[in-house]
Amino acid sequence: MAHPSGHHTYPRSARVNQIVREIISDELVRLSDIDERIGLLTVTGVETSPDLRQGVVFFDSLSSEARAVLEEHRRQLQGAVNAQTRLKRTPILTFRADPAIAQGQAVEEILRRHRDDDD
């Protein structure tokens, strides 16, 4: 949302992270036609460093090899970010499974066990 003075009301880093996440997600859809291992992979977020030199892509996947697949396609994903943005630098991407997904699953398991104990 733009501020009356023309400035955005949320930080530039949040906008950059969102744009990079969208570009990577779109590129993964295209790559999934070529590499079926990408099929069940979701980009859940991106965190770029303030100087845009580094970017961490968080993902969730049913595949145990998802991180390796992302690493294989890292140059192509970075190229897509470079081609589709006007950033001063294209961040070097690294990939990590989203810890929030695992934490959420652990909480659900605890709640499920608690409910089963009550029955």
Q: Classify 12-118 by CATH class.
A: alpha beta
pTM score, whole prediction: 0.77
Is pLDDT above 60 for 7? no
Q: Encode pLDDT of 10-58 as tens digits.
A: 688 899 999 999 999 999 999 988 888 887 889 999 999 989 999 999 9
DSSP assignment of 50-87: TTSSEEEEEEEES-TTHHHHHHHTHHHHHHHHHHH---
Sorted by sequence, the CB contacts under 8 Å of residue 72 that are 6+ apart come out as: 35
Given this model, what pLDDT does residue 1 score? 46
Q: What average pLDDT does the structure give for the chain?
A: 86
Q: What per-residue string of b and e applies to 53-77 under the rule 16 or more CB within 10 Å gives b?
A: eebebbbbbeeeebbebbeebeeeb
Q: Encode pLDDT of 50-99 as tens digits.
A: 899 999 999 998 778 888 999 999 999 999 999 999 988 899 999 998 88
